[in-house]
Structure 1
Amino acid sequence: MSTTAEDAVATGTLLSVRHLVKHFPVRSKGLIRREIGQVHAVCDVSFDLGEGETLGLVGESGCGKSTTARVVLNLIPATSGTVHYRGQELTELGSKQMRALRRDLQIVFQDPYASLDPRLPVNEIIAEPLRIHGLYDADGRTRVRDLMRTVGLKPEHGNRYPHEFSGGQRQRIGVARALALRPKVLVLDEPVSALDVSIQAGVLNLLDELQAELGLSYLFVSHDLSVVRHIADRIAVMYLGKIVETGPADQLFDGPAHPYTQALISAIPLPDPRKERARERITVIGDVPSPANPPSGCRFRTRCPKFAAELGEAERTQCTDVVPELVERGQGHPVACHFAERRSLL
């Protein structure tokens, strides 16, 4: 029997997302701005996040990763679909109802400099969630200092402002702020993409340590598969608003089956020059289609090397007319491709 993304939620699942859709209206210019179209940012996305698990959500810029993360946390209202946290539906809750759940669901944004208030010292930035939720008591100052130590910062620097820290330190401040309420789920939106490689390693190691110590679950959003491979237990690959392949990280890297996943993995540089020169390269053609007017059938077909060079007329018609379902097709994990084929690329 085939396995689909809609299978029953496993025991221990914290977050369950089903058929999530987010469309943004496109409006005309002028005094009366009428809706003339929609941007299909997220289209029928489903996944689960288990306790203590890291799910990597990957894809190139503009594929809908960050929008998915924000809709999951109800920071942006969903067009349709459901998000269940421990059995409670989030998409139907208002801002007041969500406030109590914000303690369990936190986010670390991509740009730490933009997400930290430049007018507040670090002590107040980290203490702000505690004050908002009425948890800043007589031990509040001690708790803030402990959080700074937890993320590798010196408590005596708490009176400094964000601009006085390096990029890696600012990202650690963002992590400390997110941890202040002791959440169960932490959404990490490109947390290391703006950092140098050496600093990236420090932040990733910190996240590993915090997960082991605090039992956190991560939804890790990134375009860098080499980073995701280091930290993720499972990976979901997105293209133009849809998940096209998902499975255990090792399985996905050892044998990617979707042409888009294969192209992403083949672009990861290898440290051995001989292996790098001898490896198979899979390249995509053309530009990403507009999400306001996505292609029919398989959304990747306009750039797919298999569609362009390997398929016959009848097979191309199937790709053009039929939307491929995200199901297990004999590759060991769900793939949204009519002609999925595993390849070893690393």
Structure 2
Amino acid sequence: MGYIVASADDAGGLGPEELQGGQIRRYGVPARLNPEERFEHWRTWYGTAVDTPMRLEKVDSPVRRNFNPTASTLCGPGFSIVELVNEPVAGYWNRDSCSGDIRLVHFKASSAEFNFSGRSEVISPGTVRFLDLSSGGGFTAPAGLATVQLNIDRSLLGLDEKSVKRLQRMTDVRENPMVRGLLLPWLSDWQRTGIERAVHRLGPVARSMMVALISSLLEEPAAGDLKPARLAAIKKFIHRNYRNQDLDVDAVVAYSFLSRRALYYLFEDEYLPVKGYIRMLRTLEALDLLTDPNSRRRSLAGMAEASGFKTLQAMRRAVKECTGSSLRDVQENPEALRSRAHELRKLIGT
């Protein structure tokens, strides 16, 4: 296990890619090297790219021919996300006395045996847990190891040492509703196209999600603002379901366990209220269908139904209000309407 904070230069694997508002870096061993050289390259790079110094050793001899580990990192204000795919390897670390982060790790594939302060634990695929590097230890992963983790500056969460230790003693929190319903989908999707444009907004969201999770796990009142996490969860629910004609404000209220008034308050600083947000997503879906080169092969009523509108007239009104154009105008001038749809997506942050 490693916590990537730097990337190889151009002479190494894949050079860093700098992004506005944050940075995403990717690394892979050079393909031109033979297997033994690839392992040495990975081991050397790994030892300089982690904030907890770690030594890697082979578990197979010889190194498998397709040895191809990778690492990707997104760094934002007060947090980082790391995705790591390790080939068969063993790792050892010394006591981490200087890190101010708390680390939530999703072990995505393959079992590995970890040693924490002399105590052995087998961590199975699917496990989600806080990782404790405060004392020396190591791991052995004969089949490799794939992980994605969220690191948060501990000072942003108001955690004392006792609370941190309680969290680190929890061996698997994957069944927690916050983990299952929000954090895991979010971490699974972090490398999606366009995340660089939103990185400045991810810090408060990541912190809010972690505060909500920790409050749930420790059964203590949250010490931070949960609004960003709740808003992110509700928007995700709407995105998954807006094509369903039965989705309305009442359905969102039932999902969120909030009162209608509290739900409206949650959206008060957004570009649109919750009802308008649902309608806008349906309108954008309709515009995508209407501007598709094959749109004339589909009926307008069918496109309205596929977008989540209950009637064709409802789709006509929504498109007209958002673009000033009729459905026929949209189909006859698709490029202009695609530009308008792009502007609308930026306004609502999708």
Does TM, scored on the shorter chain, surpass 0.5? no
TM-score (normalised: structure 2): 0.28
User: Which has more helix, going by share of residues?
Assistant: 2
